[in-house]
Homo-oligomer: A and B are copies of this chain.
Amino acid sequence: MAPRLQSTQYLLILFCFFVFLSASLVAESTTLYYKWEVMSEIKSPDCFKKLTMTINGGSPGPTIYAHQGDNVIVELKNSLATENVAIHWHGIRQIGTPWSDGTEGVTQCPILPGETFKYQFVVDRVRAGPDGFVFDFFLIFSILEINLQAGTYLYHAHYGMQRQDGLYGSIVVWLPEGQLEPFSYDHDRNLILTDWYHKSSHEHATGLATPDPGFQWVGEPDSLLIQGRGRFNCSLLGSSSLASATCNTSSPQCVPYPLTVVPGQTYRLRVSSLTSLSALSFQIESHTMTVVEADGHYVEPFQVNNLFIYSGETYSVLIKADQDPSRNYWATTNVVSRPRTTPPGLAIFNYYPNQQRKLPPTTPPAGPAWNDVAPRLAQSHAIKARQGFIHPPPKIADKVIVLLNTQNTVKGRRRWSLNNVSFNMPHTPYLIALKHNLLHTFSQAKPPTGYDFKNYDIFNPAPNQEATESDAIFRLDFKSTVDIILQNANMMSPSSSDTHPWHLHGHDFWVLGYGEGKFDIYRDPSKYNLENPIMKNTVALHPYGWTALRFVADNPGVWAFHCHIDAHFFMGMGVVFEEGIDQVGNLPTSIMGCGESKRFLRP
């Protein structure tokens, strides 16, 4: 009996410790309540009038500022006339709240006009549920394991191609009061970079979905925006009365965004990209940037003159305002990786007390050559976890999935495929279908985990006419460790390979390595960085190269993994993972009402 009693005592002490820890963590968290209204408004962010989707009147929408562990509630009202919406909280893992991920077709039905949907999640932690300490007891283990994380995140529409109509914004998660970052700065600033099209997302979606010969590629963007402002050359429209009514270079909406700094001070600048298509370089004339954070994880600091950034990525860089304070400087963005026909994005790095609108006396920096892959690859390699903040990855994977990225024609439509399968979004969200056993709503096939490694020539256009489309998903063993090898290849036209930023919902992954050419399953894994790999939620797949990732499938839910280029995902460039569906709590009915979930209507 005696040993048994001791064991119980031991457990009791442990239990009390966790209850205490749990209570202290819960005590620190705050609930932030937002009321947002999505509307359509005619805006001129680059001087050209376009129907823009706004949140509370703005594009970008309001920035969410929260402390690590805060509970965020966003009551989102859709005030569009005929169009639905859904908003994804990019980089927030939604642990315990997979139904709040905001991915239409995966985690929820779209939000109808006139309806209000409540997103509720913790930044970035398991939700402290109403089930009391027993629930919390288990929570604590998870919390310790998954690492609370302050950092820079995003939100944006995740339905059709609505993101490019302006529905996006930032989430800034600070450390709890009193805690310090491992680097110092005087001020915290935020910039979202985007590209901008004058055509509506409806027109783009229609052009992309039309079979050849009617297929219309979206083309290069009309302008680049920095924090929602850009500048289109209105004279390109000619001099008709229609042109002058549409484009107005003196609109206050398209004055370059001023980033005001006090001479001598150091700035943490959160730079993120939500471009629809473009890979970008970002630079501030005559200033060096020190990279310290990527996607919410601390980076072993390194300096850059040009920061390469891909859609869906976030970085923090430190900048010291140490140049001539009598003038302003250019902050610019340029397209890289694709031929540069879009003019640069221009903002003003404004030294106080110079006027915000005072143009710098110089020509904006030209940025790096668009087709020079080497410096971009070098930056990718340079990003490692910061010493003291390394989360070591599991040493081996339980499963390896190789995803060959190719452009194909499927049923007369241009598509992107993974291992020759192009993804179609079903109309009954997977989360509902899986939780409620509506398995007839999507293909129960197993998507291929590889391609013809031996014979496929990644340096030439895809010969495969056998590409298909499917809504089948990967079902992962709960808590298993999964490696993903993204393998790039040639597009349909010869000598071209795009850069694809891949984004994973519900997780951060370790970036184990990048390589050129075809991934060698026998040799390349030995080169993986298992020592200090950075964790991210979005990573670039470089032209003709491969990128290797590892993640642990420990977040019950259904999660999209896709190229963050709007048009590419729309054309099928994505997969979906299910893990631990049986661990998912009761789904809120607010996510239902579409597809087969309509069968739950019982008046």
Contact (Cβ within 8 A) A601 B592: yes
Give me 7 A-to-B residue pairs in the complex whose CB atoms sit less than 8 angstroms apart, sorted by A's number. A42-B216, A51-B200, A83-B202, A113-B427, A237-B242, A238-B240, A238-B242
Residues in B neighbouring A160, C-beta threshold 8 A? 81-82, 113
**A1-9, A204-212, A302-310, A324-332: which one contacts chain B?**
A204-212
A218 to chain B, nearest CB (A): 13
Q: Interface 1/0s, chain A 569-589, versus B by CB < 8 A?
A: 000000000000000000101
Contact (Cβ within 8 A) B427 A115: yes
Other-chain contact of A42, B206, B243, B589 (Cβ < 8 Å): B206
Contact (Cβ within 8 A) A587 B600: no
Q: How far is the CA of A593 from the CA of B205 in the complex (A)?
A: 26
A545 adjacent to chain B (CB < 8 Å): no
A149 adjacent to chain B (CB < 8 Å): no
A interface residues with partner B (beta carbon < 8 Å): 39-42, 51, 81-85, 109-110, 112-115, 159-162, 200-203, 205-207, 209-210, 214, 216, 236-240, 242-243, 426-427, 432, 436, 587, 589-590, 592-595, 597-603
Residues in B neighbouring A236, C-beta threshold 8 A? 240, 242
Other-chain contact of A603, B41, B51, B238, B436 (Cβ < 8 Å): B436
Closest to A204 in B: B81
Extra contacts besides A81-B161, A240-B240, A589-B602 (4): CB < 8 Å: A51-B206, A202-B202, A238-B239, A592-B601
Other-chain contact of A595, B84, B114, B205, B216 (Cβ < 8 Å): B114
Residues in B neighbouring A240, C-beta threshold 8 A? 236-238, 240, 243
Residues in B neighbouring A39, C-beta threshold 8 A? 206
Contact (Cβ within 8 A) A603 B590: no
Q: How far is the CA of A206 from the CA of B160 in the complex (A)?
A: 20
Residues in B neighbouring A601, C-beta threshold 8 A? 589, 592-593, 597, 600-602
Residues in B neighbouring A432, C-beta threshold 8 A? 603
Residues in B neighbouring A84, C-beta threshold 8 A? 82-84, 112-113
A397 to chain B, nearest CB (A): 35
Contact (Cβ within 8 A) B593 A51: no
Contact (Cβ within 8 A) B40 A202: yes
Other-chain contact of A598, B41, B216, B427, B590 (Cβ < 8 Å): B590
User: Which 5 pairs across A and B sit closest by C-beta, in order of nearness?
Assistant: A114-B427, A238-B240, A82-B160, A238-B238, A81-B160
Q: How far is the CA of A432 from the CA of B236 in the complex (A)?
A: 52
Q: How far is the CA of A106 from the CA of B316 in the complex (A)?
A: 51
Q: How far is the CA of A62 from the CA of B209 in the complex (A)?
A: 22
Residues in B neighbouring A200, C-beta threshold 8 A? 51, 200, 202
Contact (Cβ within 8 A) A82 B40: no
Contact (Cβ within 8 A) A110 B110: no
Other-chain contact of A81, B114, B202, B242 (Cβ < 8 Å): B202
Contact (Cβ within 8 A) B427 A112: yes
Other-chain contact of A82, B83, B238, B239, B593 (Cβ < 8 Å): B83
A413 to chain B, nearest CB (A): 13
Q: How far is the CA of A205 from the CA of B39 in the complex (A)?
A: 11
Contact (Cβ within 8 A) A42 B207: yes
Other-chain contact of A594, B112, B216, B603 (Cβ < 8 Å): B112
Contact (Cβ within 8 A) A593 B594: yes
Contact (Cβ within 8 A) B82 A162: yes
Closest to A602 in B: B602
Contact (Cβ within 8 A) B597 A603: yes
Q: How far is the CA of A41 from the CA of B210 in the complex (A)?
A: 8
Residues in B neighbouring A590, C-beta threshold 8 A? 598
A493 to chain B, nearest CB (A): 22
Q: How far is the CA of A153 from the CA of B356 in the complex (A)?
A: 62
A235 to chain B, nearest CB (A): 9
Q: How far is the CA of A432 from the CA of B39 in the complex (A)?
A: 27
Residues in B neighbouring A214, C-beta threshold 8 A? 42
Q: How far is the CA of A157 from the CA of B243 in the complex (A)?
A: 31
Q: How far is the CA of A248 from the CA of B324 in the complex (A)?
A: 54
Residues in B neighbouring A205, C-beta threshold 8 A? 40, 81-82
Given known contacts A40-B202, A40-B206, A593 and B598 CB-to-CB distance under 8 angstroms: yes
Closest to A157 in B: B82
Closest to A159 in B: B82
Q: How far is the CA of A238 from the CA of B235 in the complex (A)?
A: 12
Contact (Cβ within 8 A) A51 B589: no
Q: How far is the CA of A51 from the CA of B109 in the complex (A)?
A: 25
Closest to A589 in B: B601
Residues in B neighbouring A159, C-beta threshold 8 A? 82
Residues in B neighbouring A592, C-beta threshold 8 A? 598, 601, 603
